[in-house]
Structure 1
C-alpha cells in the first residue's frame, strides 16, 4: 500500500487559518493596556500622562553640561526634583530624562489656572528661571533650552479637536473603502470599509496604550503621529484588499460562496503582498530609530510614537484586516442564508 502523502503548506506559516490566535494577541494587548491605564488612574489620578497641550501648564527642558547627575534615570529625577524643589513647588510636577542629549524635562501646572495669557506667561517665566538657577547652583552648567506654555482653555479645545479629528478620519476611511470596493466580490464595500475601520481603530487604541505603559506625554505630537500612522496602515490594508479583489475575480460565483476557496484567496493575497508590507514598515522605522536616538526632545517623542504606531499598523494590516474581512463575510453569508437571500457559505465536505 502506497504511503499517504501530505501536501506541503505553500507559505511559511498560516495566517487566515489562525485568525483566532492573531485576534487573541490583539485582545490580550488591549486588555493589558487597559489594566495599566486603570493602575495609572488609581496611583496618579490620570490614566494617561496628558501633556500641557491638553491640560494647560508649563514645560521646561534643561540641558546639563557635561553630563546628567545621578547614576541612572530614577536617580537623576530624584536629584533634579530635590534641587528644583528647593526653589519652586514641584508637587504634581512630572520630570522626564532624555540621556541622549543630557536633557531633563520638567512639566508643571503653572499658568493653567491663570485668567489671562499675560499672567500665565509671567508665572511660567518666573518659575522657569527659578528652576534654572536652582539647578545651576547645584549641578554647575545648566541651561534652559526650551520653554512651552499652554493655557487651560486652549488645552481643552485641542483635546476636543483631536478626538473629532480621529472620528472624522476613521469615518472618511470607511467611506473611501466602501466606494472603492463596492463591487461584486467579497461581501461588498461595506464589509471592506468596516474591517479597515476596525483595524485602524486597533492601531489608535494600541498606540494610546503604549503611551500608558511608557508614560510619554499625550500631546499634539501624539495626535500628528496617530493620524500619520492611520494613513500608513490604511495604505497597507488597501494594497492587501486590492490583491484580494483581483484574486476574487479569478473565481466563479459558486467558488466565491465556498469557505475553502475564500480562505485560500485571502491567505494567498496576504502573502503576495507580505514583502511589500514588511519593506514599507522597515524602511520607515529605520530613519525614525535614528531620530529617536539622535533628535531633540520634540523629535524623539514624534519618532517614538511613529515607531510604535507603525508596528501596530503593520500587525493590523497583515494579521487582522484580511482575516477580519473574511470572518465578517462569513457571518454576513450566514445571516443572508437564514433570511433565504443567499446560499449559506460553508466549507465543502471532503471524503
Structure 2
C-alpha cells in the first residue's frame, strides 16, 4: 500500500507573512486548528512541522489566506474574531496549563489560580498590545511567573500557613525538592524540562543570558538528582513534573469571569484614583483658603545696646533687706561707736 504524499506547506517565514496579511493572531489560528498557540508559533519559526490532519488543516487554512489566482474565484474571507473572543480563545488554551505550572513554582493551589487570573486580567487591560505581540501565550506565561514568584506574598496572612501537600509520597518529595531551589533556578527548570522551551527561549523569558540559563538548569538538575536520584535522567524528570502537575485537580475560572473581574477591578482602581485626586485637590484648596494673605515678620530677639554706662547703685532693696534694716535700727547699740549705724 502506497502512502499519500504529504500536503505541501510554504516556508515558515511565508506562513507568518500569510497570517499577518490576513490580520490574524497566532491564537486565532490555533482556535481554528484546535491546537495550542505555542504550536502555531513553533510552526512559524520552523522548530516543528505539522503532520497528519493538522498539516492538512494548516495547509488548507494558509491556502485560503494566500492571494487567489486571477482565473479562480477568490476564497471566502475568514471571519475575524472580536477582542473578547480572541481573549477567551487564548485563555481556554493557556490557562489550564499555566495553573499547573504556577503550582510547580509555588506549591500553593490558590496562589496558582490567582496568578493566572491576575496575569490574564492584565492582558485584557492591555489587549491591543498583547494581541499584536509575537507570542501572546509567552507574554501571559511570563506575567504569571512574575506574579507567582513575587516575594511580597510571604507577608500576606493567608500565605503564612502551609497548604496540604500532595497525597502521593513521590509527588511530595518532588514538590519539596522543587521548592528548595532558588526562584530563578526553579523557573528555569519548569520552563525547560516542564514546558519544553529550548535554551534561548528560556533565557529570553527569564531575562538572562544563555550561558547563565544553562548553568541554572544544570545546578537545578543536580540539586533534584541529589535528593531524588531516580530523577537524574532529564526525560524521567520531565514526565514526573508533568505527572505532579496533572495529579492536582487545579481548575481555572472561566474566561468570562476573569475578563469581567478584571474590568470590575479596573473600575474600582480608577474610582479610587479619582477619589484620591479629588481629596488632594480639596486639601490644596482648603490650605489656600486658610493661609495668611500677608507676611508677618517674626519679632527680632533682644540685643545688647552699646554705649550705656554700667549700673552702679545696687537698686531697690528686697523685702528681706528692708526687714533687716529695720531690725538694725531698732536694736540697742552696744560696742564701739564706729559700729553704731548713723541714720541718713
- Larger strand proportion, structure 1 or 2? 1
Does the TM-score normalized on the shorter chain lie above 0.5? no
Q: Which has the larger radius of gyration?
A: 2
TM range (shorter): under 0.3
